[in-house]
Structure 1
Amino acid sequence: MFTALCISIFDQSIRDYHVHDDIHRMIENPYEKTAIEHLLYAKNWIDTVQWHLEDVIRDPKIDPVKALEMKRWIDRSNQERTDMVEHIDSYFLDKYNTVIPVPGASINTESPAWAIDRLSILGLKIWHMREEATRADASETHREACRKKLEILLEQQRDLSTAIEELLEDIGKGRKYMKVYKQMKMYNDPSLNPVLYGQKP
């Protein structure tokens, strides 16, 4: 199953990141650039670094200048995340490019890669909730509450995996078809953000 591969790669990426737990450490992708595993690993690495950036920027004692630098970093990371999702969708578009939709075929509310994006984030939630559920310096009340949340997250992971597998099967059999819209983010584009294009050189 494709989602089993995704979950395995995401877990590997998260484990690799936490060996050093350093937001500045560069990715060391173990997979060939032409492989879908390479894209999945890179996608989750971006998500994992951003997860920790979001933690750091919420420090109430953070220096405002440092916080602004982090915010700009998060903006770049969001763009990279979007670009990576589009690369993964390109993989599926190529994989299913010979499939002819059957009469009455419908489009899904989201593309396969955006569903996989949610699976990647779920992997991070599960990893960190499991940490909290076993944290030695936390109260038993805290650990028990986190164990219950972890059970729900694992259920979400199973349900989302099932939905993704069904979507891929439907696309493969022509019952659904892919139509990918490139993300037209405006705030990062100097020609579309009025705050940027309104500034004089």
Structure 2
Amino acid sequence: MTLPTSAEILTLHDEALARADWPAHAGPELTDPLLHWIRTNHRFNCLLWAEEDLARRTQVAEAEIAANKRAIDGFNQARNDATERVDELLLLALGLVDPATVGSDTPRSQVPAGARLNSETAGSMLDRLSIMALKCRAMRQQTERQDVDAAHRASCSARLARLEEQRQDLAACFDALLADAQAGRAYFKVYRQFKMYNDARFNPALVAEAQTK
């Protein structure tokens, strides 16, 4: 498996956002499983972003907001699952995880002697890059509004420049982490997030509901 560069990921994110049918439709099939899961993560981030906007409405029925909140939970779980799959595929490509343990709750790392543990996974960095693409698009749209004054557009232009700088800095950090991992200087792990609020076995409110039936 060829490891992707940050430039390829940024292009993937931007091209998806430019499509008229995105994110309702995933788009053409990607044969590379790693790129497939990176795009899947991006798609659920986009769906999550839209639901978060809708959930802030104040002039709709409470049932609509409740539906938004439930959709947010589902999209957030799917986004997290895709991030973990990205990490697994990257670790497999780098030879940093025991293949027999991939998919389990406890993937076993295969760590070169002397390698440092990176506190953030590469998949989490790609997840953040996806969100940065959304932030940049949203701020860019503010700079193009004609129903606001010039001061608003100027302020948003300055903010956009800062967001784009942050996005490029994060992309460079991603490339550096993969380079260090390939060279045996660094590694990262798959951490199962175990989101308890979506699981009726662990969420105290759902447990209490079940006990009253």
The TM-score normalised by the length of structure 2 is 0.86
**Corresponding position: 1:136 with 2:173:** no
Q: CA deviation at 1:101?
A: 4.2
Contiguous gaps of at least 5 residues in structure 2: 98-109
Runs (4+) of structure 1 moved beyond 4 Å?
Answer: 98-102
Query: What SS does structure 2 have at the residue aligned with 1:60?
Result: coil
- The residue aligned with 1:87 is 85
Paired residue secondary structure (1:145)? helix
Q: State the AA in 1 paired with 2:7.
A: A
- Paired with 1:34 and 1:162, the residues of 2 have a C-alpha distance of 22
Amino acid corresponding to residue 15 of structure 2 in structure 1: Q
- Does residue 73 of structure 2 align to residue 71 of structure 1? no
Moved more, 103-112 or 164-173: 103-112
**How far apart in 1 are the matches of 2:24 and 2:133?**
20
Contact 2:142 2:153 in 1 (8 A): yes
The partner residue of 1:188 within 180, 195, 198 is 198
**Matched residue, 1:11:** 14
Aligned to 1:28: 26
Q: Is the 8 A contact 1:29 1:42 kept in 2?
A: no
Question: Contact 2:96 / 2:111 at 8 angstroms: preserved in 1?
Answer: no
Query: RMSD of aligned C-alpha atoms?
Result: 1.8
CA gap 1:190/1:33 in 2 versus in 1, 3 angstroms: farther
Aligned-pair distance for 1:110? 0.8
Partner of 1:174, secondary structure, is: coil
Amino acid at match of 1:146: C
Of 153, 157, 176, 1:147 maps to: 157
* DSSP-derived class of the 2:58 partner: coil
- Percent of pairs with identical residues: 32
Pairwise CA distance, 1:173:
0.8
Partners of 1:98 and 1:155 lie apart in 2 by: 31
Quote the offset at 1:29 in angstroms: 2.6
Aligned residues: 196
Q: Retained in 1: the 8 A contact 2:6–2:175?
A: yes
Which segment drifts farther, 36-45 or 54-63? 36-45
Amino acid at match of 1:142: H
Distance 1:86 1:185, change over 3 A: same
Once the two structures are superposed, residues 99-155 of structure 1 have per-residue CA deviations (whole angstroms, 9 ceiling, x without a partner) of: 974432111111000011110000000111111111122210000000000000010
User: Is the alpha carbon distance of 1:12 and 1:187 closer, same or farther for their aligned partners in structure 2, counting shifts above 3 Å?
Assistant: same
**1:33, CA displacement in angstroms?**
5.0
